[in-house]
């Protein structure tokens, strides 16, 4: 897949965390109205996700992940490979700026050097291992080499003759790169990073691969694929590809390098010729994949050895080029509502993503404070919201700024209106979130912490971007309209 911002997850202590920490998620950035880093972290927290992969080393994202416990993979983009591969100083500077500046507050665990270089940027293949070695040397100098691993993600298409898995081997064209790369991974204790897409294998097989086999669906014993050399039975494409990589490494005498799947998923929507890119198939694949991984099923070659896997991806990327399916790999829309509800039994709290009844309305970040104040005036005036909790000395008075107060009032109106379409707009300064904005003793309407019953009062409509309605109640103090005031959304 093209460069994206992948986020792989699991977060904050929970009873399910020990078993769920093998699953992460990718987050692409080619999105209209991309949520802020704070909102991204809030969504991950709500889904108990504590692994994330970034396709770069974005400063705002790394700061947002500080002190969260989220395990972060950062990346050297492909367009920086050449410079880093030719200069120890360049690599050292990159590590200083993008790793040492944030670690350990931000839990950076891996540096992915490039992405699918052999297949997407073959002209840079000759410098790939040098780039990895220079980054590793910089980590050693910074005394971070024991905490942070260095590797590079590959498309599974570098493996030829992947079935039967026991006969698989790497494309020999790349032996001058693959062999020294595997030596590097073995010597540093780093994993082979692999992108595994049964969807593409299924589509490109022209009917040879059954859909159920690609989707982890149960197969009759006589329908399972059997490796004639090992007599191992394969019930899904994912395991066959992972084992093919293990066998391909063993063919080159590397037998102790673990595999981490850095991308895997299924699109929920496609064009006229993409018949199997459906919500049902995407739900089936990702639900079964997550269950497969967290149950520590392993693969037929390595049973019981779970393969850490990152789901592709967190959000739909509506601005990605290419076929319609390219825009529809996400688990969530950017407002935090799920594209579909995963069917997970016994998966603990991981990606329990039915957030349709857990939505709140909040003020957007970085919007005009005067527009927020006008919307707040309307909500507490003509909108008939009970804003008494915002009075001085009351539970939601602090923090005393227009963003925090607007968030409370917007959400109270949204809940009062039964979360009706258009009731969380306020001329474009509000947005829907799945994260409960309640804090301390300030419990928001609609929160599970509240015993309130919100009526479906439809006597007023929230001002939309096309509305000229305005209200007039006493404004917050001038201090609260200062552009330097900040609202921390938790």
**Could you say which of 30, 263, 313, 326 is catalytic?**
263
Residues whose CB falls within 8 Å of the CB of residue 378, separated by 6 or more in sequence, listed in order: 426, 462, 463, 469, 470, 471
CB 148, CB 103: distance < 8 Å: yes
Q: Which of 7, 43, 46 is nearest to 334 (CA)?
A: 43
Strand-pairing partners, residue 338, are: 332
**Could you say which of 116, 313, 317, 326 is catalytic?**
116
Whether residue 317 lies in the annotated active site: no
If you search the block for the tokens 């690599």, which residue do you land on? 91
CB 242, CB 289: distance < 8 Å: no
Residues whose CB falls within 8 Å of the CB of residue 434, separated by 6 or more in sequence, listed in order: 43, 46, 336, 337, 355, 358, 359, 360
Whether residue 116 lies in the annotated active site: yes
CB 56, CB 5: distance < 8 Å: yes
Q: Which of 382, 440, 370, 383 is nearest to 410 (CA)?
A: 383
- Measure Cα distances from 353 to 51, 159, 178 in Å: 16, 34, 39
Cα distance between residue 307 and residue 294, in whole Å: 9
Cα distance between residue 134 and residue 137, in whole Å: 5
Residues with catalytic function: 116, 263
């Amino acid at each position: 897949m093209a460069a994206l911002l992948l986020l792989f997850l699991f977060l904050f202590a929970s009873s399910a965390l020990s078993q769920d920490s093998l699953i992460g998620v990718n987050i692409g950035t080619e999105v209209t109205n991309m949520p802020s880093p704070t909102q991204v972290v809030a969504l991950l927290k709500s889904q108990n996700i504590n692994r994330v992969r970034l396709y770069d080393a974005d400063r705002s994202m790394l700061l947002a992940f500080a002190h969260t416990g989220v395990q972060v993979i950062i990346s050297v983009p492909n367009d920086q490979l050449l410079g880093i591969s030719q200069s120890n100083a360049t690599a050292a500077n990159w590590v200083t700026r993008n790793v040492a500046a944030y670690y350990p507050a931000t839990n950076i665990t891996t540096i992915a050097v490039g992405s699918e270089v052999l297949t997407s940027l073959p002209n840079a293949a000759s410098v790939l291992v040098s780039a990895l070695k220079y980054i590793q040397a910089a980590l050693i100098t910074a005394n971070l080499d024991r905490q942070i691993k260095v590797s590079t993600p590959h498309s599974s298409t570098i493996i030829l003759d992947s079935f039967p898995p026991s006969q698989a081997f790497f494309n020999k064209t790349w032996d001058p790169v693959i062999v020294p790369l595997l030596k590097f991974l073995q010597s540093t204790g780093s994993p082979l990073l692999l992108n595994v897409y049964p969807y593409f294998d299924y589509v490109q097989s022209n009917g040879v691969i059954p859909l159920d086999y690609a989707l982890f669906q149960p197969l009759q014993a006589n329908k399972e694929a059997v490796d004639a050399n090992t007599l191992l039975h394969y019930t899904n494409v994912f395991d066959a590809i992972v084992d093919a990589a293990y066998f391909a490494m063993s063919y080159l005498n590397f037998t102790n390098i673990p595999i981490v799947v850095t991308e895997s998923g299924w699109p929920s929507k496609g064009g006229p010729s993409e018949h199997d890119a459906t919500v049902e198939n995407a739900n089936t694949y990702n639900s079964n994949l997550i269950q497969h991984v967290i149950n520590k099923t392993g693969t037929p070659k390595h049973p019981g050895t779970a393969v850490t896997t990152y789901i592709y991806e967190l959000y739909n990327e509506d601005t990605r080029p290419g076929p319609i399916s390219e825009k529809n790999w996400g688990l969530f829309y950017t407002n935090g509502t799920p594209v579909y509800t995963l069917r997970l039994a016994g998966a603990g709290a991981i990606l329990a993503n039915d957030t349709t009844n857990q939505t709140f309305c909040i003020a957007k970040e970085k919007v005009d404070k005067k527009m927020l104040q006008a919307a707040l005036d309307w909500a507490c005036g003509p909108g008939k919201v009970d804003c008494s909790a915002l009075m001085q000395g009351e539970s939601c008075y602090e923090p005393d700024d227009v963003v925090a107060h607007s968030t409370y009032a917007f959400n109270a109106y949204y809940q009062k209106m039964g979360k009706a379409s258009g009731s969380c707009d306020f001329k474009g300064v509000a947005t829907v979130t799945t994260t409960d904005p309640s804090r301390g003793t300030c419990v928001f309407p609609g929160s599970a912490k509240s015993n309130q019953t919100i009526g479906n009062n439809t006597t007023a409509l929230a001002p939309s971007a096309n509305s000229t309605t305005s209200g007039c109640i006493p404004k917050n103090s001038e201090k609260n309209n200062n552009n330097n005031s900040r609202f921390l959304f938790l």
